[in-house]
Structure 1
Amino acid sequence: MTEHLQTPEHQLTRTPPSDEEMSFDGLRLVALPAGRCEVDVAMAHHAINIPLAAAPARMAVNSDKLSDWDIPNGGLSYFASGTDFKIRITNPAPQIILEVSDARMTEWMDWAGDGVLPSRTFLDWMPDPDADALARRALSLLARPEQASRLEFEALCLGLADRAVARFRRESTSYVSSRAAACSRDISRAIEWAEAHLHERSLSVSQMAAAAGLSASRFNEVFRAATSETPYAFVIRRRAERAVDMLRENQLSIAQIAFKCGFSSQSHIGSVFRRRYGETPADIRRSNLSR
């Protein structure tokens, strides 16, 4: 069934504000809550959308005609800047939206070798398990913004952007790998810089990229191709390894070690240890003392 809307022409605008959102340097991560949602916007920014539950919707893209859509669980969609978007939906679970400025999207698309997609481009939802997992991490992050680091925020945004850019990337994996090899010295500089700044909670992907002389999006891609892990995963791994060494070598409190290794709190280092080692910092210290 198609429904015609008679709506006046409206100016470019953004995703409605939410109680759970974070913004930084051309990026805005938003969790739209579950419940009834009626949106009528002309996108002022590029937007990447991942619903966390399937739902039927009435929707129109670059048209005044609302039609029936089935929005899939964990699907990823992309709305280019300027897209005229209307939706009427009752969300059974939150939706994650990443808004990206024109400058940021141009940077990412240039690295992908495609250039920016034309204004008003819409890419329909397609299942993407990786994007779904990142969106669920984003939901957890937005629920505790006071504990989130810039590094974690950037890593999530870059991960979601990578999944979106992959939808329309034309370059091959071998091309990315060859560019990564050419940038190996740049990556080495970034690693050396990160090792010297692991204790700084403000450490960010952008700072590591600057040390390598690369843009943040290009650095994220090249780093992963060269090391088989993201910059965020590298930093967390090295902080955890440094903390293990300190637990075994000195009598500082766990809270002091967490601070010296760049973790946001004692609970943060505890959750990282449980995921990585299946033990708490206190468990590792006790096992070392018993030897």
Structure 2
Amino acid sequence: MTSADVWTNEAIISDAFSSAPDVELGSAQSGWKLCRWRHFVGSYALPALPSPTFVVHIAGKPQVKTWDRDGWSETSSIPGDATILPPHQPSRWLVDGELDVVTLSFAPRLVEHAGRPDRFNRLRFAFSDPLGTALTRQVLSELYAPASDERDSYVGALVDALTAHVLRGASGQGAPVIPSSVSSAYRLHTVMNQIREHPEDDHGLERLAATAGLTTSHFCRVFRKATGVTPHQFVMKTKLDRASHLLTNSELSLAQIADSLGFKNQSHFTRAFRQFSQETPSDFRRRGREAS
């Protein structure tokens, strides 16, 4: 590594992980660099990066959090989610198990030419971007295929398309899609975002399937294939993520937290939380306060 590239995004991330990316691909002419990172971590701090970065959560454990003002974020990133890291802003991360993400960083000139630099002024964490995720996964599948000139040209075109998509405005709102069976990934993210926004609601299977426009059996198959968990497990995990946030950042009693999240009673909440985190809500709250 030369002194000229010591402070690239990738060099800073490599230093934070104490390891190189699993896959690395760049185009100086096009102004982007794509890397895959696979690493086992707990919590870590990432110094400010010089360039904006688009991150796709590829695989690994479905629980990655970021530091949000005065505590770990209520929302978790799961495989299929996207995040935008703005330049010049340090960040902190909490990862349960293996971290498996792809980063795509952009030269400042690309952001300037896009005409909307404000899009990258703040952290946008764990939002739905089905097209960005699909393009990223296709790039990875090609990178692990046998090398050839044709493959390299195809990969370059895919990353150029991904870069244009992100610069044009990947957002949590999702892009319009033509209604068809192929749009089920977009529909799933709509359901998942609905659960995250209101985990206390009664998210029955029939209701979720109707929102996705699928039969219950097809919805269950598609949901599990996309997320690695059943719809019920995702709803429960979202409730308990919110409970963890409330236990750490509020003075609500266990009964109040259980009621606010739609549990039958405090005993039901305690049993579910212990199964989720291997400790009771009281022990979790006490350990968090001792750590503080």
Report the TM-score, using the length of structure 1 for normalisation: 0.45
Report the TM-score, using the length of structure 2 for normalisation: 0.44
